[in-house]
Structure 1
């Protein structure tokens, strides 16, 4: 945080965390789109493993990209293999072995190393910069394995006589069947389950990865899709999908019984009625051309304010420039917790939180202090983490009463007191994150503070102390409560609703039903 008011002695500069940007053009592109989706603090291209117990020496590359955002670990192995001019039945098995199976072998090695030697993973080949974040425990982690196989898109377009060049999905293909033209399930440019005896390995090509990470550009949206995708492809409910983009479009317009996107049966049928499903070409193109999809994308624009706010903090964490006020010690892992729970919010939730914050900043221009909390309702699936936001002006009279340092200390005390009081008032919360800053256009610089607090067993003395602090600060008086209701895909006119215009007349009529919409509810509290 940069601010002209802050004296130099408050700046406790630390060594920067230097991440690789990728060694090849394709690795650099993977690093770029990864940072947009997973954000910079959690995305690490080309980490290394040290063969020596004490580190140092010539490290070996662990994988092409490692994403760590507790409880998630995503391991990417990327191969760019040129297509040969042999017949497809010859060229495909050769390409598949080099681009897919070889990458899957690297993933297995990386997973084993992550489990056995997490303290011997480094950011540099010389193994002098340890991996900066703590890894989730083996018991709680959700590990996702991704092969990115490049080089076959043009040949794939030729084989299927058009399309985007994405690989087809055929779950009946298992293991080495992908490379065996004599197998009854064999189909060039189709991928099924490459390791049926092990944990699921996702295979994306250069086109499909771009699409999926563009449409699902938060770690929660992306990993939720991976989990549902793995279950669906191993369920025998899918016979064939023309391409990843069409599978994604099918998923994006369906909601299961608990309100999550999922691979539910089409047309309100049951899987017993359908047997196995074929998802043909055209679902994705129809999806992105529809007005409801466009309305969602327009509504999501404000949500990227949440991403920018996260990276306001993470840029300083990576750069070693986070400011520590007197009486506090800096810990990257403690600081990471607060922004991690911000990063774990879906794009849809980020939209509503960003709207709340932008509104608070506008109101804060007119008030010395403004408070707004964003809490899901107790019955909501997203009710474990609460957020609140404070704007607090740095007034002229403060300059003669301790200056900006005292202002920051006081602002932090407000944050801590609000956090504790909200956890006591709303015991269903497991944790809360609070952010404070000056309102915009105040002049003279600006700074941001963030606090993270977890629910505990509050003793009588704890409650009395927090109550006294609230009374001293004159906060936590009756709030103005504003119920919030939202829809992921905003309403449009009947003629513009999302439909899948494929299949016969009966199928088109059934699929013309309104998109299954994800909804959210909660409350905003103001003071």
Structure 2
């Protein structure tokens, strides 16, 4: 059972009675967490801005959702036009009129911070046999999403980075002078994207035809199945994110910047980080260590990570915060090119455990300071170079170092 199915398991009857807007909202939460999804935000005059806003860092998705039936295989033009007009109106409210939009738990929406803007016209009824995935109106690009496509896309691209990258690739594809015909719906385009290293370049072809069956064949591909199995390790990262987020809410802490960095890795990198973190715990407990650190750097994110294992079972006075900050400083020294360091400590309390997490964007140590550190502290430290493949051989799925 995949992550999306587990999320909605037991909710089928509940969803039947809900509106298309609420179903889309719940689907969006699978990828983005509810703290980044804002249902039916209001304008200054109290009227609804749109059906759903999804915000992450410098990216915003504006969704307008209709739950309508097909008429002779198509949606009525008036429904399409209404969705598009509402999206354009929402865009102008945020980016032209600069109205003050207040979002609960987020604050005032500032249109100036967004570099990536996606307007999405979502239809939660049956899918049209032939439809445009992307079109323009008043100089703005509109993405059309159907219910069956939404189910598959949210399930497959179930991290915010994966979701954004796919839509950016679609937008880049649309800007090229190329014709396209797809038999079988957007899932065939998604399958091509996944099979071709998450790219929609098509080698600068003038016209592309994607036949029905690419998605179905991908579902039975051995490497794809191995990737899906390997990605189960990434749920460790999900657990860390959710635990830290819930603890911060209980303590009324504002950790938006931290959450952005924890959510930034895509599904593959979450797997890499999870395996690195799990390996740290396994090795520490195998050798009965009090403290151990691992450093890893992800070049594409330009981010370094300092993972720590600290056993507080027999000594609750270990200065965890200072050790974690020092670990981040050392990580920054090791990876001076990194824009910042994410530090996460796994704290063992007998049979219980907890996490603590920080962001560090300060300086590293000088060469002399680093040498003094090495002489004074005899810590067990590993610098991990990851060699994980997104589509691994089946025999390497459970390879933990």
Q: Same fold, TM exceeding 0.5?
A: yes
Matched, 1:346 2:262: no
How many equivalent pairs are there? 378
Inter-CA distance 238–284: structure 2 relative to 1 (3 Å threshold): farther
Counterpart of 1:132 in structure 2 is: 106
Contact 2:293–2:381 under 8 Å retained in 1: no
For 2:26 and 2:375, how far apart are their aligned partners in 1?
48
Counterpart of 1:321 in structure 2 is: 250
Task: Pick the aligned partner of 1:200 from 137, 141, 152.
Answer: 141
SS at match of 1:240: strand
1:452-508 CA distances to partner (integer Å, 9 max, x unpaired)?
01255x7xxx75997599469726x68444432121111369xxxxxxxxxxxxxxx
Inter-CA distance 250–193: structure 2 relative to 1 (3 Å threshold): same
For 2:325 and 2:138, how far apart are their aligned partners in 1?
49
For 1:297 and 1:337, how far apart are their aligned partners in 2?
29
Counterpart of 2:305 in structure 1 is: 387
Contact 1:429–1:455 under 8 Å retained in 2: no
For 1:74 and 1:469, how far apart are their aligned partners in 2?
49
Q: Measure how far apart 1:151 and its partner are.
A: 2.3
Matched, 1:288 2:195: no
Matched, 1:37 2:31: yes
Contact 2:93–2:99 under 8 Å retained in 1: no
**Unaligned runs of at least 5 residues, structure 2:** 1-14, 396-400
Q: Measure how far apart 1:413 and its partner are.
A: 1.2
Contact 1:40–1:314 under 8 Å retained in 2: no
Counterpart of 1:221 in structure 2 is: 162
For 2:64 and 2:239, how far apart are their aligned partners in 1?
28
Counterpart of 2:4 in structure 1 is: none
1:83-114 CA distances to partner (integer Å, 9 max, x unpaired)?
34xx45xxx3x62431x321222222222233
Task: Pick the aligned partner of 2:76 from 80, 95, 105.
Answer: 95
For 1:473 and 1:82, how far apart are their aligned partners in 2?
71
**Structure (1 or 2) with the larger CA radius of gyration:** 1
Matched, 1:151 2:125: yes
Matched, 1:142 2:116: yes
Matched, 1:434 2:353: no
SS at match of 2:200: coil
Counterpart of 1:418 in structure 2 is: 327
SS at match of 1:49: coil
Matched, 1:356 2:343: no
For 2:137 and 2:259, how far apart are their aligned partners in 1?
36
For 1:397 and 1:479, how far apart are their aligned partners in 2?
21
Considering Cα pairs closer than 8 Å and 6+ residues apart, tell me whether 1 or 2 has the greater RCO.
Answer: 1
**Unaligned runs of at least 5 residues, structure 1:** 1-20, 52-58, 124-129, 157-166, 168-188, 256-260, 324-329, 399-405, 494-523
SS at match of 2:201: coil
Instruction: Please give the TM-score of this superposition, normalised by the length of structure 2.
Output: 0.84
Task: Pick the aligned partner of 2:200 from 232, 238, 263.
Answer: 263
SS at match of 1:338: helix
Cα RMSD after superposing both structures? 3.0
